[in-house]
Structure 1
Protein backbone atom coordinates (compact mmCIF):
# COMPACT_ATOMS: atom_id res chain seq x y z
CA UNK A 1 0.00 0.00 0.00
CA UNK A 2 1.53 3.32 -1.04
CA UNK A 3 1.64 5.98 1.67
CA UNK A 4 -0.31 9.18 1.26
CA UNK A 5 1.56 12.44 1.74
CA UNK A 6 1.52 13.56 5.38
CA UNK A 7 -0.56 16.56 6.24
CA UNK A 8 -3.12 18.08 8.48
CA UNK A 9 -6.84 17.72 8.11
CA UNK A 10 -7.08 13.94 7.93
CA UNK A 11 -9.84 14.15 10.51
CA UNK A 12 -11.72 17.08 8.93
CA UNK A 13 -15.44 16.46 9.36
CA UNK A 14 -14.83 13.68 11.89
CA UNK A 15 -15.78 14.24 15.49
CA UNK A 16 -13.13 14.43 18.14
CA UNK A 17 -13.66 12.55 21.37
CA UNK A 18 -12.84 14.42 24.60
CA UNK A 19 -11.26 12.65 27.53
CA UNK A 20 -14.09 11.35 29.77
CA UNK A 21 -12.14 9.16 32.20
CA UNK A 22 -11.02 9.79 35.76
CA UNK A 23 -9.61 13.31 36.29
CA UNK A 24 -6.69 11.88 38.29
CA UNK A 25 -5.44 10.04 35.19
CA UNK A 26 -5.68 13.19 33.08
CA UNK A 27 -3.75 15.10 35.73
CA UNK A 28 -1.04 12.42 35.90
CA UNK A 29 -0.79 12.42 32.09
CA UNK A 30 0.39 16.04 32.16
CA UNK A 31 3.72 14.88 33.59
CA UNK A 32 4.21 12.05 31.09
CA UNK A 33 5.53 12.27 27.54
CA UNK A 34 2.91 11.69 24.84
CA UNK A 35 2.94 8.60 22.68
CA UNK A 36 5.50 8.30 19.92
CA UNK A 37 4.23 9.69 16.61
CA UNK A 38 4.31 7.31 13.64
CA UNK A 39 4.15 9.64 10.63
CA UNK A 40 5.97 7.28 8.26
CA UNK A 41 6.60 3.57 7.81
CA UNK A 42 10.16 4.21 8.99
CA UNK A 43 8.84 5.81 12.22
CA UNK A 44 6.60 2.81 12.84
CA UNK A 45 9.34 0.32 12.05
CA UNK A 46 11.84 2.09 14.32
CA UNK A 47 9.38 2.25 17.23
CA UNK A 48 8.27 -1.37 16.88
CA UNK A 49 11.87 -2.51 16.44
CA UNK A 50 12.85 -0.81 19.69
CA UNK A 51 10.15 -2.61 21.67
CA UNK A 52 11.26 -5.60 23.75
CA UNK A 53 10.03 -8.90 22.24
CA UNK A 54 7.64 -9.52 25.15
CA UNK A 55 5.75 -6.28 24.31
CA UNK A 56 4.83 -7.74 20.92
CA UNK A 57 2.81 -10.45 22.67
CA UNK A 58 0.13 -7.87 23.52
CA UNK A 59 -1.42 -5.03 21.57
CA UNK A 60 -0.14 -1.48 21.99
CA UNK A 61 -2.01 1.65 23.07
CA UNK A 62 -2.74 4.03 20.19
CA UNK A 63 -4.40 7.38 19.63
CA UNK A 64 -4.95 9.50 16.54
CA UNK A 65 -5.10 13.22 17.21
CA UNK A 66 -6.86 16.04 15.43
CA UNK A 67 -3.81 16.27 13.16
CA UNK A 68 -4.39 12.71 11.92
CA UNK A 69 -1.11 11.43 13.36
CA UNK A 70 -0.97 7.94 14.86
CA UNK A 71 0.69 7.88 18.30
CA UNK A 72 1.83 4.67 19.96
CA UNK A 73 2.69 3.67 23.51
CA UNK A 74 3.16 0.41 25.42
CA UNK A 75 -0.13 -1.33 26.24
CA UNK A 76 -0.30 -0.38 29.89
CA UNK A 77 -0.08 3.30 29.01
CA UNK A 78 -3.12 5.48 29.50
CA UNK A 79 -4.71 6.77 26.29
CA UNK A 80 -4.88 10.29 27.72
CA UNK A 81 -1.10 10.23 28.24
CA UNK A 82 -0.54 8.83 24.73
CA UNK A 83 -2.65 11.69 23.32
CA UNK A 84 -0.87 14.33 25.40
CA UNK A 85 -4.18 15.10 27.12
CA UNK A 86 -5.79 16.24 23.85
CA UNK A 87 -9.07 15.08 22.28
CA UNK A 88 -8.72 12.21 19.82
CA UNK A 89 -10.26 11.11 16.57
CA UNK A 90 -9.59 7.49 17.52
CA UNK A 91 -8.14 5.53 20.43
CA UNK A 92 -7.79 1.90 21.37
CA UNK A 93 -5.41 -1.02 21.13
CA UNK A 94 -3.48 -2.17 18.07
CA UNK A 95 -1.24 -5.14 17.26
CA UNK A 96 1.20 -5.47 14.39
CA UNK A 97 2.79 -8.44 12.61
CA UNK A 98 5.72 -8.53 10.25
CA UNK A 99 4.81 -8.69 6.59
CA UNK A 100 6.99 -9.14 3.51
CA UNK A 101 7.31 -5.36 3.11
CA UNK A 102 7.43 -4.29 6.76
CA UNK A 103 4.74 -4.21 9.42
CA UNK A 104 0.98 -4.58 9.07
CA UNK A 105 -1.92 -4.33 11.47
CA UNK A 106 -3.03 -7.69 12.80
CA UNK A 107 -5.66 -6.46 15.27
CA UNK A 108 -7.20 -3.10 16.11
CA UNK A 109 -10.04 -1.95 18.32
CA UNK A 110 -11.50 1.16 19.92
CA UNK A 111 -11.11 -0.04 23.51
CA UNK A 112 -10.34 3.12 25.46
CA UNK A 113 -12.32 3.68 28.63
CA UNK A 114 -10.73 7.12 28.94
CA UNK A 115 -12.10 8.42 25.62
CA UNK A 116 -14.92 5.91 24.99
CA UNK A 117 -14.79 6.48 21.22
CA UNK A 118 -17.64 5.23 19.07
CA UNK A 119 -16.83 2.48 16.54
CA UNK A 120 -17.12 5.00 13.69
CA UNK A 121 -13.67 6.25 14.72
CA UNK A 122 -12.33 3.41 12.54
CA UNK A 123 -12.26 5.79 9.57
CA UNK A 124 -9.79 8.04 11.41
CA UNK A 125 -7.48 5.16 12.35
CA UNK A 126 -7.72 3.76 8.81
CA UNK A 127 -6.77 7.16 7.33
CA UNK A 128 -3.75 7.42 9.66
CA UNK A 129 -2.60 3.92 8.71
CA UNK A 130 -3.15 4.58 5.01
CA UNK A 131 -1.14 7.78 5.29
CA UNK A 132 1.91 5.86 6.45
CA UNK A 133 1.28 2.97 4.07
CA UNK A 134 0.64 0.22 6.60
CA UNK A 135 -1.49 -2.76 5.64
CA UNK A 136 -4.63 -3.07 7.73
CA UNK A 137 -7.96 -4.89 8.01
CA UNK A 138 -11.09 -3.34 6.51
CA UNK A 139 -12.62 -2.63 9.93
CA UNK A 140 -11.89 -3.03 13.62
CA UNK A 141 -11.17 -6.65 14.48
CA UNK A 142 -13.09 -5.99 17.71
CA UNK A 143 -15.48 -3.09 18.12
CA UNK A 144 -16.68 -1.67 21.45
CA UNK A 145 -19.83 0.41 22.02
CA UNK A 146 -19.66 2.83 24.97
CA UNK A 147 -22.51 4.79 26.54
CA UNK A 148 -22.77 7.01 29.61
CA UNK A 149 -25.73 6.29 31.86
CA UNK A 150 -28.05 9.31 31.96
CA UNK A 151 -29.19 8.35 35.48
CA UNK A 152 -25.96 7.60 37.40
CA UNK A 153 -23.27 8.87 35.00
CA UNK A 154 -21.40 5.54 34.84
CA UNK A 155 -19.38 4.71 31.72
CA UNK A 156 -20.72 1.47 30.20
CA UNK A 157 -19.64 -1.05 27.60
CA UNK A 158 -22.71 -2.18 25.68
CA UNK A 159 -22.57 -5.95 25.30
CA UNK A 160 -24.64 -7.98 22.88
CA UNK A 161 -26.80 -4.95 22.04
CA UNK A 162 -28.05 -4.76 25.64
CA UNK A 163 -28.32 -0.98 26.29
CA UNK A 164 -28.74 -1.13 30.07
CA UNK A 165 -26.48 0.40 32.71
CA UNK A 166 -24.40 -2.22 34.50
CA UNK A 167 -24.57 -0.18 37.72
CA UNK A 168 -28.17 1.05 38.05
CA UNK A 169 -30.11 -0.84 35.32
CA UNK A 170 -31.25 2.38 33.62
CA UNK A 171 -31.77 2.35 29.86
CA UNK A 172 -28.79 3.63 27.89
CA UNK A 173 -29.22 5.85 24.81
CA UNK A 174 -28.72 4.33 21.37
CA UNK A 175 -26.47 7.26 20.32
CA UNK A 176 -23.00 8.12 21.70
CA UNK A 177 -23.52 10.54 24.61
CA UNK A 178 -20.25 11.58 26.24
CA UNK A 179 -19.98 15.10 24.84
Structure 2
Protein backbone atom coordinates (compact mmCIF):
# COMPACT_ATOMS: atom_id res chain seq x y z
CA UNK A 1 0.00 0.00 0.00
CA UNK A 2 2.88 2.37 0.80
CA UNK A 3 4.17 2.05 -2.78
CA UNK A 4 0.90 3.55 -4.06
CA UNK A 5 1.28 6.75 -2.00
CA UNK A 6 1.97 9.73 -4.27
CA UNK A 7 4.02 12.73 -3.08
CA UNK A 8 1.70 15.39 -1.68
CA UNK A 9 -1.18 12.94 -1.15
CA UNK A 10 -0.95 13.07 2.64
CA UNK A 11 -3.65 14.43 4.89
CA UNK A 12 -3.89 18.03 5.96
CA UNK A 13 -1.46 18.79 8.82
CA UNK A 14 -3.29 20.27 11.83
CA UNK A 15 -0.89 21.58 14.47
CA UNK A 16 -2.88 24.51 15.83
CA UNK A 17 -6.39 25.85 16.33
CA UNK A 18 -5.86 28.13 13.31
CA UNK A 19 -4.95 25.14 11.12
CA UNK A 20 -8.08 23.30 12.22
CA UNK A 21 -10.32 26.35 11.74
CA UNK A 22 -9.08 26.81 8.18
CA UNK A 23 -9.48 23.11 7.39
CA UNK A 24 -12.95 22.68 8.93
CA UNK A 25 -14.25 25.82 7.18
CA UNK A 26 -13.79 23.99 3.86
CA UNK A 27 -15.91 20.98 4.94
CA UNK A 28 -19.55 20.64 3.97
CA UNK A 29 -22.37 19.55 6.29
CA UNK A 30 -22.31 16.21 4.46
CA UNK A 31 -18.56 15.86 5.19
CA UNK A 32 -19.20 16.47 8.88
CA UNK A 33 -21.93 13.80 9.01
CA UNK A 34 -19.34 11.02 9.03
CA UNK A 35 -15.94 10.57 10.64
CA UNK A 36 -12.67 11.48 8.97
CA UNK A 37 -9.47 9.48 8.59
CA UNK A 38 -6.73 10.67 10.94
CA UNK A 39 -3.14 9.91 11.78
CA UNK A 40 -0.75 11.41 14.30
CA UNK A 41 2.68 11.65 12.74
CA UNK A 42 5.98 11.16 14.53
CA UNK A 43 6.12 14.98 14.68
CA UNK A 44 3.08 14.81 16.99
CA UNK A 45 0.81 16.63 14.54
CA UNK A 46 -2.68 15.50 13.63
CA UNK A 47 -3.33 14.88 9.92
CA UNK A 48 -6.87 14.67 8.57
CA UNK A 49 -8.30 13.31 5.33
CA UNK A 50 -11.70 12.23 4.01
CA UNK A 51 -13.02 9.04 5.63
CA UNK A 52 -12.49 6.81 2.63
CA UNK A 53 -8.80 7.74 2.49
CA UNK A 54 -6.25 5.10 3.42
CA UNK A 55 -4.38 5.86 6.62
CA UNK A 56 -1.04 5.18 4.93
CA UNK A 57 -1.90 7.80 2.28
CA UNK A 58 -3.04 10.26 4.97
CA UNK A 59 0.38 9.83 6.59
CA UNK A 60 2.20 10.27 3.28
CA UNK A 61 3.54 6.74 3.70
CA UNK A 62 5.33 7.62 6.93
CA UNK A 63 5.42 5.90 10.32
CA UNK A 64 2.76 7.16 12.76
CA UNK A 65 2.13 7.32 16.49
CA UNK A 66 -1.57 6.57 16.02
CA UNK A 67 -4.27 6.30 13.37
CA UNK A 68 -8.01 5.84 13.18
CA UNK A 69 -11.30 7.59 12.52
CA UNK A 70 -12.48 10.83 14.10
CA UNK A 71 -15.66 12.91 14.10
CA UNK A 72 -16.22 16.50 15.17
CA UNK A 73 -19.06 18.57 16.57
CA UNK A 74 -19.44 22.24 17.38
CA UNK A 75 -19.75 22.95 21.13
CA UNK A 76 -20.65 26.50 22.14
CA UNK A 77 -17.56 28.48 21.14
CA UNK A 78 -15.24 25.74 19.84
CA UNK A 79 -14.96 22.46 17.97
CA UNK A 80 -14.74 19.18 19.84
CA UNK A 81 -14.22 15.54 19.04
CA UNK A 82 -17.52 13.64 19.07
CA UNK A 83 -16.03 10.21 18.35
CA UNK A 84 -12.55 8.80 17.86
CA UNK A 85 -11.24 5.28 17.36
CA UNK A 86 -7.98 3.53 16.59
CA UNK A 87 -9.68 1.69 13.71
CA UNK A 88 -6.90 1.49 11.11
CA UNK A 89 -6.15 -1.81 9.45
CA UNK A 90 -3.22 -0.16 7.69
CA UNK A 91 -1.38 0.62 10.94
CA UNK A 92 -3.26 -1.46 13.55
CA UNK A 93 -2.35 0.93 16.39
CA UNK A 94 -2.51 -0.17 20.00
CA UNK A 95 -5.07 1.38 22.33
CA UNK A 96 -2.13 2.86 24.26
CA UNK A 97 -1.57 5.23 21.32
CA UNK A 98 -4.33 7.41 22.82
CA UNK A 99 -1.76 9.64 24.57
CA UNK A 100 -0.34 10.76 21.21
CA UNK A 101 -3.87 11.51 19.94
CA UNK A 102 -4.71 13.46 23.10
CA UNK A 103 -1.58 15.61 22.77
CA UNK A 104 -2.32 16.34 19.10
CA UNK A 105 -5.93 17.30 19.87
CA UNK A 106 -4.82 19.49 22.78
CA UNK A 107 -2.32 21.25 20.48
CA UNK A 108 -5.17 21.96 18.06
CA UNK A 109 -7.28 23.23 21.00
CA UNK A 110 -10.04 20.73 20.29
CA UNK A 111 -12.29 19.47 23.05
CA UNK A 112 -11.82 15.72 23.41
CA UNK A 113 -12.94 12.65 25.32
CA UNK A 114 -10.67 11.03 27.90
CA UNK A 115 -9.86 8.13 25.57
CA UNK A 116 -10.88 6.40 22.37
CA UNK A 117 -14.67 6.26 22.18
CA UNK A 118 -14.28 2.95 20.33
CA UNK A 119 -11.17 0.89 21.09
CA UNK A 120 -10.04 -1.76 18.62
CA UNK A 121 -7.65 -4.46 19.84
CA UNK A 122 -5.26 -5.69 17.14
CA UNK A 123 -2.94 -8.71 17.36
CA UNK A 124 -0.77 -10.57 14.87
CA UNK A 125 -0.91 -14.34 15.13
CA UNK A 126 2.53 -15.71 16.04
CA UNK A 127 1.78 -18.92 14.13
CA UNK A 128 0.18 -17.87 10.83
CA UNK A 129 1.21 -14.14 10.97
CA UNK A 130 -2.33 -12.97 10.08
CA UNK A 131 -3.69 -9.74 11.54
CA UNK A 132 -6.63 -10.16 13.90
CA UNK A 133 -9.16 -7.87 15.55
CA UNK A 134 -9.81 -9.24 19.02
CA UNK A 135 -13.48 -9.23 19.94
CA UNK A 136 -15.00 -9.84 23.38
CA UNK A 137 -11.56 -10.61 24.88
CA UNK A 138 -11.30 -13.78 22.77
CA UNK A 139 -7.55 -13.86 22.06
CA UNK A 140 -7.73 -16.68 19.50
CA UNK A 141 -6.70 -16.33 15.85
CA UNK A 142 -9.73 -16.43 13.55
CA UNK A 143 -7.58 -17.97 10.82
CA UNK A 144 -5.77 -20.85 12.56
CA UNK A 145 -7.24 -21.03 16.11
CA UNK A 146 -3.86 -20.32 17.75
CA UNK A 147 -3.70 -18.28 20.92
CA UNK A 148 -2.96 -14.60 20.40
CA UNK A 149 -0.61 -12.70 22.71
CA UNK A 150 -2.05 -10.54 25.47
CA UNK A 151 0.20 -7.62 24.49
CA UNK A 152 0.22 -5.66 21.24
CA UNK A 153 2.56 -7.14 18.62
CA UNK A 154 1.63 -5.51 15.32
CA UNK A 155 4.88 -3.61 14.73
CA UNK A 156 7.36 -6.05 13.19
CA UNK A 157 10.28 -3.84 14.31
CA UNK A 158 9.19 -3.81 17.95
Q: TM-score scaled by structure 1?
A: 0.83
Partner residue, 1:100: 76
Distance in 2, Cα, partners of 1:132 & 1:104: 10
Cα pair 1:32 1:81 within 8 Å, conserved:
no
Indicate conservation of the 8 Å contact 1:147/1:156, yes or no: yes
Q: Which residue of structure 2 lines up, in the alignment, with residue 143 of structure 1?
A: 119
Other-structure match for 2:29: 53
Residue 32 of structure 1, CA deviation: 5.5
Tell me which residue corresponds to 1:7: none
Q: How far off is 1:40 after superposition?
A: 1.2
Q: Counterparts of 1:72 and 1:103 in 2: how far apart (Å)?
A: 15
Name the counterpart of 2:55: 79
- Aligned pair partner of 2:10 in 16, 29, 34: 34
Query: Whole-Å Cα distance in 2 between the matches of residues 101 and 90 of structure 1?
Result: 28
Moved over 6 A (4+): none
- d(CA) in 1 for partners of 2:37 and 2:8? 15
| Cα distance between partner residues in 2 of 1:42 and 1:31 | 25
Unaligned runs of 5+ in 2: none
| Residue in 2 that maps onto 1:173 | 149
Match of 2:39 in 1: 63
Higher strand share: 2
Please list every run of 5 or more consecutive structure 1 residues that lacks an aligned counterpart in the other structure.
Answer: 1-24
Structure 2 counterpart SS, 1:89? strand
Alignment match of 2:106 (pick from 113, 116, 130) = 130
- Larger RCO, structure (CA 8 Å, separation 6 or more): 1
- Report how many residues are paired: 155
Name the SS of the counterpart of 2:93 in structure 1. Answer: coil
Q: Deviations over 1:132-175 (max 9, x none)?
A: 21110011101011000111111100001000111111111111
* Secondary structure class of the residue paired with 1:92: strand
The CA deviation string for residues 79-122 of structure 1, in whole angstroms up to 9 with x for no partner, is: 00111111111100000001122211011110000100000000
